[in-house]
Structure formats: C-alpha cells, structure tokens
Structure 1
Amino acid sequence: MESSVDAVENIIGYTFKNKKLLEQALTHSSYPESVSYERLEFLGDAVLGLAISNHLFLAYTSVHPGKLSLLRAANVSTEKLARAAVRHGLHRYFRHNTISLVDKVTEFVDAVAREKNHRALVVYGGLVKAPKILADIVESIAAAVYVDVDFDLQRLWVIIRGLLEPIVTLDDLEQQPQPVTMLFEICQKNGKKVDIKHGRSATKSTASVYVDGQLFASASSDQKDIARLDAAKVALHKLEHMLPATASTVMFDCCAGGIDDTFEIEAAKQKLYAICGTKKWPKPVYSIEKDEGTPQEKKFVTSVQIATPGGILQMSGDERSRVKDADNSAASFMIRALQECKYV
C-alpha cells in the first residue's frame, strides 16, 4: 500500500501529513479488515461541490445561477470525475476484493482509450457508462486532502484543481448538447410530452422522466442536478431505439453525394457558426481526422460535428495543407449537406 500512496501523492503533487487518510481514500468496502473510503466519499462529494461553486462564482460574475448550476453539475458529475481518475491513472491504486469492479473499470478505461480523441473533454457521457467507484476515488482523495490541510477549502482547491482539469466552461456546455435540453427538444419534435419529477430520500435525490404520462427512466444521485442529467441520458438512450433514425446520432455524409471534390465556400466556418446561432444549435465542433507529412508538406483532414434536436451530424472535408483551410473545407461540405437535406 505504501507504493500506491507514494504514487498518488506524486499524481496530485501533495505529500500527506497523515498518510492513513490517503490509504483510507483508496480502500473499497469489499477489502477485508480495512476502513473503507465511504465516509471520505461522503465528505468529498460535498466539498468538491463547494470548491467548484466558489470557483464558478468568482470566474463568472454575471452569469445566471441556473447556468452556474449546470456548470457545477457538469464539473462534479460521475462522468467527469471518472474520466479524471482514468486520465491520471488513479484506478490502478485502489484496493478492493470484487472481481466485477475490475470488469466495469476495465471496460470503461478501454472505451475511453478507443475514443478518437481520448483527451478531449466529454461533458455528458461516452459510449460506456462511467463506474461510480472511479468518481468515488476522486471524491475520497479530495476529502482526504481537505482533512489533512485542516479543512482549508482554498488550500484544497489549489492542490486538487489540477486533478480536475480541464474545468468545464460555458463554451464547453454550448458545444456539447445538454441531455435535458435535447430530451425536451426531441420529444417535442416527435409529438411527445415529457416531464421530469424529483424526489428525495434520506440520502439521495431521484429524478424520474415521464414520457406521455408514463414512467420512462429514472436516476438517483447525491445531487439533484446530477440525478436530472443522468435520468435524461437514460431516457435519450431509450429513445434512440424507439424513434426514427433522425432522432439519434448519424454520420452526415449521406446527403453530400453530389458535391464534387473541389467544392468550397468562402468563409464557410464563419457562415456555419452563424447558421447554428440562427437555429439555436450548439457551436460546431471540429476535430483533426488526419495529420500527416513533413513540417514543410503537412496534410490535414478535419471533420465538423453539429448537435441538433434530431441528432449529431458529422461531415469530413478535403485534404488541406493548413488546419484552418481543412476546417473551412469541412464546414463547406456541412453547409451544402444541410442545404441538400433541407435543414436550412
């Protein structure tokens, strides 16, 4: 255990006065004859929420509290914290005695590694559900630090912020569609009525999604905002299998068959941004698909994604010598495809 404690101290850049706290933070309840992280996780959930709230309050001095709540929820969600654990390799150091945990964690770690850009910020969830134990580890480590620095919240934030980077920003939220918003928009488009109701037990907040008056999905969490997000994600996943294909994620190259290889629109990237603004869609998201060649003869291909109420549309551009030009090519094809498919 000593080597695990040393490794985690190196990861977070902090040396504990009481190393037993970190040992406890890395110990699952299934591990025999040891104190588990459950009490620390309880504290860490609250203290991380407060630390993030303080940061957002100071960083966004004129933003509405509703948006601040969304930002806080995105920054302390199970998905966000689990990815932080994987990014820093914390999953390698926790003690447990449950084989099923290994399978779930391995599946998630492998799924993250297979993503096209596994270091990109994913706000609301990838292909595999994030195991809660990974988020618990981050919360427990944060609580262990908090106790070790004599409950000094400012010192905790200085130490733990690097573990949480990148912090989700307002721009990130705009670029990745919010599950609750998408749920309401998709249901409205398909003539369905949706309602989300909240309840609370002694320790958990529960969100229940009702579609056309019938219970459709539910989720629970320590925080109301996260329960609401998780319930919306479950509902969206179910809707993908029930509604027409236009309501799910699609590769948007089926409408562009008639576009020749030399097609280009001047200032297409700016024009596509304007289209999304007019439609009240999130900002386009560009990704480098190909980066080859010598420094003197570089070749880039980029793709662009747009999140609409009907799904995520994707289009790749032609090969160009500069990323800026590759982005413009992808935007040009996207605009033409939007026109041919009657989106604009």
Structure 2
Amino acid sequence: MMMNIQMMKRYRVLALSSTVDGYNDEYSPSSLLSMSMAGVDMNMRSAVAAVEGILRYRFRDKTLLQAALTHSSYTDSASYQRLEFVGDAALGLALAEYIFRTYPGLDPGQLSLLRAANISTENLARVAVRHELYLHVRHNAPSLDAKISEFVLAVQEEIGAVTYCGSVKAPKILADIVESVAAAVYVDCNYDLKALWKVFKLLMEPIATLETLHNQPQPVTTLFEFCQKLGKQVDIKHWRKGSKNIASVYVDGNLIGSCSSEQKEIAKLNAAKEALQKLWPSEFSEMKIEVRSGSVEIQGAKNKLNELCAKKKWCQAKYKLERAVGPPHDRKFISLVQIVTVAGTYFTAGDIRSRLKDAENSAASNMLHGLRDI
C-alpha cells in the first residue's frame, strides 16, 4: 500500500541528467515512465521514476530503488532492511571522507562531532522531508502516516537549520529511507564511494559545519561540559504527569530548568536549553575581556577565533545576542562571545552592527584583541 497522507502527496518527476559513470543523457517525465522497469511492480514505477528525478541519478537496476522504498510492514516484496544496513555505513564513510578532506586541521573529536551531526536520525529525517522522499515509500502500517505528518508539519514551521531535536522527534523510518536509498545508489554504481557522494552531497545540503554546531550546540552535552568546567554537578531527573514527560535540571542541587513534552527526549533537550539560558549570563560576569579603544576590527574574526580554540584545544566559541535596538526596519545588534579556557571562562561584547553576523564577528574580533593582553 502506498502512503496516503492527505493534502501532502504529490509526485515530482524532474527532468534529470545522471552524473555517474558516463551517463549524461537528459530525458523528460514522459520518457522516464516508458523506460525499462523490468522487475519493478506496477504500483511502484511512478515512485521509482520520481525518486530518480530527485536524486538526478538513473538506476541500472531499478529493483534496488524499489526495495529501498519498501518498508518491512509491506510483506509482498523485499524491504529496505538489508539496504539500510549498508547505507548507514556507506553514507557515514562518504561523509567522513568529505569532512576529513574539507577540514584538514580538525582533531578526531571534532571530526566525529561533524560526522555525527550530519548523519544523525534528526538530520537524515529532515533530508527525507526536504526532498519529499517520504511520499514515495510503501508500507502497511497506518500509524506511521500520523507520525510522519506530524513531523513534516513541524519541520515546515522551523526557521533555519535545526541540528538537534526540534519540537517533534523524527520518526526513524524517515532516516531509514535516506540510508536505504543511499545504499541502493552505492550498490547500483558498483560500490563506488565517490559516485555515491557525488549524488548525495547535493541531497545532504546544507551540510552541518563547525559554525553550525557552535551556533546550535547539543544542549545536554553543552550543559554537562559547561558545568564541568565550572566544577558544578549536573543532575537531570525525569518523571511523568499524565501523558507528559517532565525533565528537570538540577545544578549543585538547585532546580535550574524544567520542561515537559509528550516525548522524553524533547523534554530533556528543552530543559537543558532552559538551564543553559539561565546559567550562561551569570557564570561569566566576573571574567569580562577588556578591549583597548581604537582596535581595528579583524576580518574573518569568527574563523580565526575558531582556529585559535582548536589549536589551544579549548571549547569552541559560543555567541549570544546581547541586545537588539532600533525599529524593525532598521534593527541593529550587539553580540556577546564566550570561550572556556584552561585558565577560566571569558566573554566580551562586540560593537553595534546592522547584521547579527557582523555583530558576532565584531565580538570575535574584540575577543582576539583582548586575549593578546591576557
């Protein structure tokens, strides 16, 4: 049974140009469906053609893609379970090679963070939503439709990239789809990792970078690391009230943040976020970096500060909007930047700027100038 999500289902069959192993012939939606579909079920031929269009890759063996789009609850045909196993490893290795080449100066820990963020269930599920891969999966589990629809609507309301959990936990089937389709490409192009990445790099964009992770750090991990640097004890307690999961964050025995959600993990993440918001401003009030007047702003200061932190093996710089001033049509911003070093935690503010990105660069520049005097 094909998925039936009201008001959401629509096939997209794009004119495409395969970029793998010499294929370079474009063809139209009408000719897509007339091409050989030997072995592909009649009720899957439109789905297979549509996903080929999304991928801009033409399969030699289209039954691989049919299997990649078949959930285990659909028992009349091979499911994606074996492909998912291969796709998890292949996509992870392709991504690992990409970030290894792109960031030659990163240590293994940072490389692992980047890899994990990009191939997490949350991120891969959003890939499936952005490219509407989920519309072409067949299954016999009606409960999946409601979960997928809820997540799709939540993603559509998100502003900007979300590296970690949003307001709704991602259904695992969505990440499974991406991994199984990756495996189908990988096997079909004779296990060529470079060919797989050539197809999937566009699908995975925007790829999370170090800056992405700095701007959206994993709240629970950040909370524990932050408090560990300050010699504080963190405890997160879970309990239920009716249908709600409640997570409460205690620091040195004091309740700092508490949030509820129908999903335990979401409650934990939101409670950690709340605790960080309350702790952060108060914890670096005694360690302000003073900047000499007349200092010239350093171009590319954010990148330079990140490089310095990596070289010194400090936690990466974190930015916070200190103040927004002016009317909506002429808003200006002041940003704070914080770094945690072996010697302590330091912060400083930047100068007022018309763009938040520029305000953060100004703060980073002031931090670099100030660190020279420490």
4+ runs of 1 displaced by more than 6 Å? 231-234, 272-280, 302-309, 328-331
Contact 1:25–1:36 at 8 Å: present in 2 too? yes
Gaps in structure 1 of 5+ consecutive residues = 196-210, 213-230, 249-266, 293-298, 310-317, 319-323, 335-344
1:168 pairs, out of 202, 208, 226, with 208
Query: What is the DSSP-based 3-state SS (H/G/I as helix, E as strand, rest coil) of the residue aligned with 1:63?
Result: coil
2:74 pairs, out of 31, 34, 56, with 31
2:139 maps to which residue? 96
Query: What is the DSSP-based 3-state SS (H/G/I as helix, E as strand, rest coil) of the residue aligned with 1:106?
Result: helix
**Structure 2 residue 354 is the aligned partner of structure 1 residue 325:** yes
Q: Deviations over 1:154-181 (max 9, x none)?
A: 1111111111111111111111123353
- How many percent identity over aligned positions? 46
Contact 1:82–1:134 at 8 Å: present in 2 too? yes
Contact 1:300–1:326 at 8 Å: present in 2 too? no
Find the structure with the greater CA-based Rg.
Answer: 2
Q: Which amino acid aligns with 1:246?
A: K
Contact 2:122–2:165 at 8 Å: present in 1 too? yes
Contact 2:333–2:354 at 8 Å: present in 1 too? no
2:319 maps to which residue? 283
Gaps in structure 2 of 5+ consecutive residues = 1-43, 237-249, 252-263, 281-295, 340-351, 364-374
1:183 pairs, out of 223, 234, 244, with 223
1:133 pairs, out of 173, 181, 194, with 173
Residue 34 (structure 1) shift: 1.4
TM value normalised by structure 1: 0.62
CA distance in 2 between counterparts of 1:190 and 1:129 reads 32
1:258 maps to which residue? none
Contact 1:26–1:137 at 8 Å: present in 2 too? yes
Contact 2:319–2:338 at 8 Å: present in 1 too? no
Q: Which amino acid aligns with 1:176?
A: Q
CA distance in 2 between counterparts of 1:307 and 1:123 reads 20
Q: Deviations over 1:236-294 (max 9, x none)?
A: 445579x698269xxxxxxxxxxxxxxxxxx99x9x989999997523579x9xxx9xx
Query: What is the DSSP-based 3-state SS (H/G/I as helix, E as strand, rest coil) of the residue aligned with 2:75?
Result: coil
CA distance in 2 between counterparts of 1:92 and 1:232 reads 26
Contact 1:105–1:131 at 8 Å: present in 2 too? yes
Task: Show the 5 A alignment for 1:224-263.
Answer: 235-237=268-270, 246=278
Residues 247 and 34 of structure 1, relative CA distance in 2, 3 Å threshold: farther
Moved more, 135-144 or 89-98: 89-98
Task: Show the 5 A alignment for 1:200-215.
Answer: none
**Structure 2 residue 88 is the aligned partner of structure 1 residue 45:** yes
Name the count of aligned residue pairs. 260
Residue 303 (structure 1) shift: 7.5
CA distance in 2 between counterparts of 1:51 and 1:44 reads 10
Q: Deviations over 1:285-341 (max 9, x none)?
A: 79x9xxx9xxxxxx46578887989xxxxxxxx9xxxxx62549988xx9xxxxxxx
2:38 maps to which residue? none
